[in-house]
Chains A and B, each alone.
Chain A
Amino acid sequence: MKKTDVIIIGAGPVGLFAVHQLGIKGLKAVVIDNLDKAGGQCIELYPDKPIYDIPAVPECTGEQLTSRLLEQIKPFKTEMFLNERVDEVYQEKQNWVVKTNNKKEFIAPNIMIAGGVGSFEPRKISLKEAEKLEGKSVFYSVKNKENFKNKKIAIFGGGDSALDWALELSKFSKITLIHRRNEFRGAQHTLSQLKKLEKEKKVLIKTPCQIESLDNTKELKSITIKFDDGKIEKIQTDVILGFFGLIMKLGPIAEWGLNMDKKTIEVNPENFETNKKGIFAAGDICSYPGKLRLILSGFHEVALASVECFKRARPNEKYRFEFTTSSKTIKERLGKK
């Protein structure tokens, strides 16, 4: 079990800035996130889209904001646990214990929930048979290419993931790319490569249509798709790969005994503490009168919450407010002279 001062749940912009605000106060933190990289919604939903309302940054993309925050917190050498979803939270005397889906354990006097709208999960095919075959012949990501060799693969989706995998897997498998409309959304060179492969009959493209049924429940042999004009077609298929994008699910957070308002956690706007002492919530996931879901609001929220975290993590020390510009201690913590 790893011991620290604050367990931060969520590596989005607010979780990352929490590392900074805690770090300059001399507190250690760990960051846990369900995604495979830091950045949260900024990275998953709008990496290339501009943000215009970060103070003193007239314009930056979601990706730029994330990389700048990562640079800003570098001096604190904070450990990040990615691909880990927090499943369980319980109290142990003055501390909180956090357990992840991969059985990692953490203990700290404080938890900072900066979980956005919950964890990102792939949207799945809503047919019952697809659920039964998930992990056997229905997949929503490619972990190991080798498992997709010499197969008849039906790829669903119209975005970058669907297109990139159609191109890559067409090198050694028979690909049918299926999308609900005629237009694909992807990089220009990917689209022209795809056109070329279609001409060479290496990739079959079926649009505009959607999945109607999986024809076998034990072992997948074929699927049936339905075109917009009502036409039905059967396609020989061993494997289905679905890329319908990610959806956000609140997940286990709802079961930790926190006071909730729909999908958000109610906090005290003085210190962003929830109804449980030592559990804080900041960013999109918290709610209080007048709450705005802005990144800058999240920055403010973790700054205030970090003061309360200090009091709980260092009960015998007095908290002293300091400016980064003039504090010798803070400069040392930042590695500046």
Chain B
Amino acid sequence: MPKITYKDYQGTSKTIEVESGLSVMEGAIQKEIPGIDADCGGSMACATCHVYIDDKWFDKIPKAEDAEIDMIDMAFEPKKNSRLSCQIIVNEELDGLEVTTPAKQT
């Protein structure tokens, strides 16, 4: 199973196995990883599953749709490497992916 590493803004990191086909957000919620709220449940209607993607991974992930980029405008402290974790679907190629959660979501 692909392993995903979630780091928080202070550098604490947790690596968990996430089933292929689930989103990076769903993986975090199932294992109760703090720092991802996902208020809207994954419908791209909020920006509370916002994460920063580690540079070495950013280009390996399918690009964000316009609607996701618009929604990231509403996230807390968006950066160039911001993504909504509900839109990143885990597969074997993403084994080892590292994401960082922002200081807060709301």
Chain A contact residues, CB within 8 Å of chain B: 41, 45-46, 117, 123, 126, 157-159, 179-181, 183, 185, 228, 244-249, 263, 284, 293
B interface SS class: loop
Q: Which of B64-82 contact A (CB under 8 A)?
A: 69-70, 73-74, 76-78, 80
**In the bound complex, CA of A183 to CA of B37 (Å):** 27
**In the bound complex, CA of A157 to CA of B75 (Å):** 11
Nearest CB of A to B76, in Å: 7
**In the bound complex, CA of A41 to CA of B47 (Å):** 14
**In the bound complex, CA of A247 to CA of B46 (Å):** 7
B46 — which chain A residues lie within 8 A by C-beta? 45, 117, 247-248
Nearest CB of A to B90, in Å: 21
Q: Which residue of B lies closest to A123 (CB)?
A: B74
Nearest CB of B to A246, in Å: 8
**In the bound complex, CA of A157 to CA of B78 (Å):** 12
A interface SS class: loop
**In the bound complex, CA of A284 to CA of B42 (Å):** 13
Nearest CB of B to A194, in Å: 16
Q: Which residue of B lies closest to A179 (CB)?
A: B73
Instruction: Beyond the given A126-B77, A248-B48, please list 20 additional residue pairs across the A-B interface where CB-CB is below 8 A.
Output: A45-B40, A45-B45, A46-B45, A117-B39, A117-B40, A123-B74, A123-B106, A126-B76, A158-B73, A181-B69, A181-B73, A228-B80, A244-B73, A244-B74, A247-B46, A247-B48, A247-B74, A249-B106, A263-B39, A284-B41
Range, interface on chain B: 10 to 19
Chain B contact residues, CB within 8 Å of chain A: 37, 39-41, 45-48, 69-70, 73-74, 76-78, 80, 106
Interface pairs (20), CB distance under 8 Å: A123-B76, A123-B106, A126-B76, A126-B77, A157-B73, A158-B70, A159-B70, A183-B69, A185-B73, A244-B73, A244-B74, A245-B47, A246-B74, A247-B46, A247-B48, A247-B106, A248-B48, A263-B39, A284-B41, A293-B41
Q: Which residue of B lies closest to A183 (CB)?
A: B69
- By the criterion CB–CB under 8 Å, are B70 and A185 in contact? yes
- By the criterion CB–CB under 8 Å, are B39 and A180 in contact? no
Q: Which residue of B lies closest to A244 (CB)?
A: B74
Nearest CB of A to B55, in Å: 15
**In the bound complex, CA of A263 to CA of B48 (Å):** 13
- By the criterion CB–CB under 8 Å, are B48 and A159 in contact? no
B70 — which chain A residues lie within 8 A by C-beta? 158-159, 185
Q: Which residue of A lies closest to B46 (CB)?
A: A248
Q: Which residue of A lies closest to B102 (CB)?
A: A126
**Top 9 A-B pairs, shortest CB-CB distance:** A245-B74, A45-B45, A117-B39, A247-B106, A293-B41, A185-B70, A248-B39, A158-B73, A244-B74
